[in-house]
Amino acid sequence: MVGGYTVLREKSEKTIRYKTPRGKEVCLTREVYLRDDIPCRSLSCSQVECHQGGHCLPRDLETYILIDGFYALNYWELFELEDIKGVIVSLSSVNFVQQQASTKRPYKRIRSSLEDASQTCILFDNEFNRSCFRPPFADESLKDYTTRMNWVAANWYINHLKGHVSLVFVTDNESYVHTYSSETNTTSCKLTVLDLPGFLQIYYPTLTTAKLLFDSLDVSLRSIQSKDHNLPELSKSENPSESLDSYTMPSVPSVGHVYPEYLPESALAAGLRSGQFLKGILHVSRFRPTTEAMVALTDASAVKHQPELKEALAARSEIMIHGLQHRNRAVDGDVVVVRLLPRVHWKTVSSDISAQENCAAEFVNDLSNMSGSKPNEDCFKSETISRSLPCGFVVGVISRNWRDYVCTYVPKSTENSLDSKSESGWIIVTPWDRRIPLIRLHTTQISKLTRERFIVRIDTWDSYSAYPSGHFVQTLGCIGDLETETQTILIEHNLVIRNFTDAQLSELAPLSVQRPWKVDLEEVKKRRDLRSPTISGNPDSEDILIFSIDPPGCQDVDDALSVQWLPPNVDEYGKEHKRLQLGVHIADVSYFVPSGSYIDSEARRRSTSIYLADRRYDMLPGLLSGDLCSLWSGRDRYAVSVLWEIDMDSFDISNIWYGRTVIHSSYKLTYELAQRIYDSVTADNISSNSCAVEEFIKKSGGLEAAKNDIPELRDLNRDECLTALDKLSKSILLLVDIASNVRERRLAKGGLELESVEVSVQFANPETRTGKLEDLIPKEPLEMHNTVAELMIFANHWVARRCVEYYPDRACLRRHPPPRPEYFDELKRCIACRGFVLDTSSNLSLANSLKNASDPNDPEVNKVVRQLVTRTMTNALYFSTGSSNMTQDQFSHYGLALNLYTHFTSPIRRYADIIVHRLLLASLGDFRSLTTTQSELNSKNTELVTILENNTDGLFSSEELASICNHMNEQHWAAQQVQRSSLELFQALFFKDKAVDDPSRYTEGIICQLRGTNGFIAFVPRYGIKGAVCIKNADGHIAWVDYTTSDSGNILWLQDVQDIVIERVHSSERSDCGVLEIRNSKTNECQQYLRVLLMD
């Protein structure tokens, strides 16, 4: 019995014969259990049970599209377009793709789309439907059988939906359809059979994106097929491991080939088992992409089979791949198999600045030069080298990391001369990411592409081609356009930005009916009420002053704070102990986003809000992130609170309370405003708090000006304002004292205070972040920043303790692994030149070393040291405490010096915090955010429904949580990189139109690293810019500063460099210390560049 009715099943079987893409003949027999309850998953269906089993096709569509196997395999990207809706993929087509694809990528792509609730496509299990299943005919090909099964499924849909919806069967096998349909007399006026070009022409005639994508895919497919027919049969070894011992050097490419063929899978497996081959992830150098790449080994245990590697890899488990030939068509991010070269062929990594690195530093001069064209590297060959590294060559690729690549087309002069009028042909395009090789593709819009950025996907890279072959996907816009460059940054970091779907937003419809939204009285009874009785109407509510402190213009207010004195405790000796209550109140997002909902699924996919220099992309819909969840002042809001009772004499925590609350924040302060209030209270000339309030009002420009700064005071008279400000200022002062005490204790255990420069972009319209780009403003560190951050860290730590106590194997924590010791080697040698010692044996010893690495005559030294230490840190990671490969001593957070840590305080913008909220509430016996009704589950995301059904308490299992944590780590890292890239874009735009003599172009910089013999790394604190400065450019000219014309000097690029010598001057072998000297051997003139750590 299922759902109150009997499910009839009938056992059958099917036997199919087909040939794989590699030529292997397969005979496959499968048992098939036929049922009558397979849902159509269409909301146009009158049968409620058909709406179960995952997301459904919307009711407002008049036409559905059923895709045959051939098009699903080769043209699926077309059906991912947002404009093409109502797609049905049968199980027969999915099986066809799985059996005929040369890699798993097409199958995974289709499955990913089917599991994505935001895409209007569904899977129909036709092969388990009693009315749709048909056994194969004798000698029927797999393609014909798939087409016949889809034709039957199409007719079933028409009959099942009783003509309410039309259906288009898109197939390239029309002749077989017509033959079969005439024999079986199965036709319907509601069913149309079309090939893909005809379908696009009739149903989407104006969708240019689809037409261009189809043309590109079609040419790419025909090109691959023609090459496959012409390929010779490869010789196969009976014993794949028999020749591995002699395979110590890359094989020579066959005649007509550019690269050697990969070894067969059996040979790769044998080599990995024997330890002769090594497996890892390829990371191409960003600044030497054609010559240098590293393979980070994923199985370091294999090193034991190669004794020569033990010493070389004692510090790093990496193999260097030198040159494109040894890289053998592997692309950045691919999982590759490598063979080690003999030690005599090991090479070194140059410390000189490369051409690409210098071009990156000069990016601000011409934004339109971001085409990625390859400059000449000959003049940057290394003169200063470090120790040799183990080198190897790629013998096979286990899995590809191909993604969407943003490219530009820069035609060569030879291409222009061939046929300047031709708009169609094969071209070589340049990826935005310089680590990616040039890509060959066919297009019908050559002249248009010269002005635009566009997306390309790689299809194949054959051994006889110097470049991978790909296809055009879509254009992004003109080069240099702000929107185009922003989309480029997002796509290059694999961040997909899309609008929330109707299905997702429909879940919020009940919340948007009542405006303004009000708390539910029944829900309030289940919570601790922290509002004033005059607001709540409840004389028992607690009347706690709560307020938030955030950046200016903040809309998504995650957190608020409170602090109040409690009656003192009296110990057994009669001594009174002062007590206060500290509160951290976090938006109760989990109340509005239950597990299994569409919004929950989308929030998990996004994992984080994305903050760019001029905009943000929210993790949650605006109704939640900017309104119902946001802890705005003057509004009742649901929160999850942590309240500590603290003994202020010993600073011990005597009690802690966790739970759901109702709050009414009194003030929404900015960091700057809270700092002004604090500064007024702590000023030296202030004798009392009342004087401090008067001082604040005076500095604000009077009472009315103060009310403008704090709009919550506008309706109060002067006395009421003074009273309110007095209470607020005392609370701020207490919070600072508590946070300072907490911080001192944490730092005493080894917490690190590292240095970084944050820069914000100042627009003409700061509220909307639009208009002219006026300035780049370094973030001024304030005591309020430290106070709020420390209290959030405090809350995160205590919540982590609670989660681990109750769910030791299923808690979501955040760990920060210690940095690898070798990352400190260069830094240790450099600061030793100033007499400093960097002890990195623990975070405590490192913290003490940083305190001592200071020069009273040069405060910049300590800042630079802390910035350089920041670069050595590893990334903090989310993880599941039930991970089998981790012990509890690995749970700690190195930088914060905490044994347990998590993210709890920002659920509006981080999905990890939502998971932690559910864990915390479950530990309190509150499972309301984890459960939904069965009818709700029936229409939700299939994957999440399965998770909830398998866990009676609604929490993720350890394995499921580990997978989610990996995804969140990837999304958070990408969001951080995008934020940095967006800032770099606006830094470039700021200087792009500045005149050469503009004062903003001239400011102080710090030389923080010398690089080889051709330049140095400079840091400009005023603008937060760090980059390479070359004193020898790509043309071989050398920079010389002429001080005869001005005090600041003018840079002359000397073309006659015969008598100019550039060398490193130092008294030791330390490669990163000393002085970079330019000397004219004829005139004995000399100019020097010194690292700041070496300056006297």
DSSP 884-949: TT--GGGS-BTTTTBSS----S-TTTBHHHHHHHHHHHHHTT--TTT---HHHHHTS-HHHHHHHH
d(CA 1039, CA 1030): 8
| 189/332 same-domain check | no
Question: 412: domain CATH number?
Answer: 2.40.50.690
> Which ranges of 807-899 does DSSP label H, i.e. alpha helix?
825-832, 843-852, 860-872
Final residue of a structural domain among 939, 968, 990: 990
User: Phi and psi at residue 909, in whole multiples of 5°?
Assistant: -120, 5
d(CA 738, CA 137): 79
- Judge whether 785 lies within some domain: no
User: What pLDDT score was predicted for residue 1058?
Assistant: 80
CB 190 within 8 Å of CB 166? yes
**Token couple for 101:** 């694809």
User: Phi and psi at residue 101, in whole multiples of 5°?
Assistant: -75, 140
User: Phi and psi at residue 712, in whole multiples of 5°?
Assistant: -65, -15
- The CA–CA distances, whole Å, from 1078 to 1011, 1012, 1037, 1050, 1061 equal 14, 13, 12, 16, 6
User: What pLDDT score was predicted for residue 758?
Assistant: 84
| 920/1053 same-domain check | no
- The CA–CA distances, whole Å, from 371 to 160, 429, 786 equal 54, 9, 42
- Judge whether 825 lies within some domain: yes
Q: What is the DSSP letter of 20?
A: -
Cβ neighbours of residue 840 closer than 8 Å, sequence gap 6 or more: 819, 821, 824, 828, 846, 849
Residue type, 802: R
Residue 893, burial from CB neighbour count under 10 angstroms (0-12, 13-18, 19+): buried
Alpha carbons within 13 angstroms on the beta-carbon side of residue 66 total: 30
Q: What is the DSSP letter of 1048?
A: S
d(CA 396, CA 264): 8
d(CA 19, CA 219): 24
| 181/305 same-domain check | no
Would you report the helix, strand and coil content of the chain in percent, each value rounded to 5? 35, 25, 40
Cβ neighbours of residue 1069 closer than 8 Å, sequence gap 6 or more: none
Q: Which of 947, 951, 955 is nearest to 919 (CA)?
A: 955
Residue 845, burial from CB neighbour count under 10 angstroms (0-12, 13-18, 19+): middle
Which residues constitute the domain of residue 910? 802-990
CB 927 within 8 Å of CB 935? no
Residue 1079, burial from CB neighbour count under 10 angstroms (0-12, 13-18, 19+): middle
User: Phi and psi at residue 445, in whole multiples of 5°?
Assistant: -140, 60
> Which ranges of 545-653 does DSSP label H, i.e. alpha helix?
589-592, 598-606, 622-623
Tell me whether strands 1038-1042 and 87-90 are parallel, antiparallel or unpaired: unpaired
CB 165 within 8 Å of CB 62? yes
CB 450 within 8 Å of CB 223? no
Peptide bond into 411 cis (omega under 30): no
| 301/383 same-domain check | yes
d(CA 1067, CA 69): 71
User: What pLDDT score was predicted for residue 892?
Assistant: 95
d(CA 664, CA 530): 8
Q: How many CB atoms lie within 10 A of CB 201?
A: 12
Cβ neighbours of residue 454 closer than 8 Å, sequence gap 6 or more: 406, 407, 408, 429, 472, 473, 474, 475, 476
State if pTM tops 0.85: yes
- Judge whether 296 lies within some domain: yes
| 932/1003 same-domain check | no
Residues of the chain under the 50 pLDDT cut: 1-8, 231-242, 360-385, 416-418, 932-950, 1067-1072, 1092-1096
545: left (phi over 0), alpha (psi -120 to 50) or beta: beta
**Token couple for 712:** 């919550």
CB 429 within 8 Å of CB 409? yes
- Judge whether 527 lies within some domain: no
Strand segments (E) across 36-173 = 63-67, 87-90, 121-124, 166-170
Q: Which helix or strand (DSSP H or E) is residue 966 part of?
A: helix 958-992
Strand segments (E) across 289-361 = 292-297, 318-322, 335-340, 347-350
- Please, what is the angle between helix 174-184 and helix 142-160, to 10°? 60
CA dihedral sign of residues 712, 716, 720, 725: positive
- Judge whether 420 lies within some domain: yes
Q: pLDDT tens digits, residue range 70-88? A: 999 999 999 999 899 999 9
d(CA 747, CA 896): 8
User: Long-range contacts made by residues 107-112, C-beta under 8 angstroms, separation at least 24?
Assistant: 109/76, 110/72, 110/76
| 973/1037 same-domain check | no
Cβ neighbours of residue 39 closer than 8 Å, sequence gap 6 or more: 49, 50, 51, 52, 53
Alpha carbons within 13 angstroms on the beta-carbon side of residue 489 total: 23
User: What pLDDT score was predicted for residue 245?
Assistant: 59
Q: How many whole angstroms from its chain centre is CA 112?
A: 18
| 978/1014 same-domain check | no
CB 803 within 8 Å of CB 882? no
| 913/1047 same-domain check | no
Name the maximum alpha-carbon separation found in the chain: 101
DSSP string, 259-274: SPPPPPHHHHHHHHHH
- The CA–CA distances, whole Å, from 80 to 267, 641, 858, 1036 equal 37, 42, 58, 50
d(CA 302, CA 321): 18
- Judge whether 614 lies within some domain: no
Residue owning tokens 């080697």: 825
Final residue of a structural domain among 474, 492, 510: 492
User: Phi and psi at residue 790, in whole multiples of 5°?
Assistant: -65, -40
**Token couple for 499:** 């609008």
- Judge whether 546 lies within some domain: no
- Judge whether 660 lies within some domain: no
d(CA 52, CA 936): 10
| 137/174 same-domain check | yes
d(CA 30, CA 9): 16
| 442/297 same-domain check | yes
CB 630 within 8 Å of CB 622? no
Cα distance between the two ends of the chain: 85
Final residue of a structural domain among 990, 1024, 1058: 990
Q: How many CB atoms lie within 10 A of CB 97?
A: 24
CB 674 within 8 Å of CB 549? yes
| 1083/943 same-domain check | no
Question: 161: domain CATH number?
Answer: 3.40.50.1010
Name the domain count of the chain: 4
**Token couple for 352:** 């000189």
Q: How many helices (H) and strands (E) does the chain have?
A: 34, 40
Q: What is the DSSP letter of 655?
A: E
| 87/186 same-domain check | yes
- The CA–CA distances, whole Å, from 433 to 225, 372, 752, 1096 equal 29, 7, 34, 41
d(CA 448, CA 411): 12
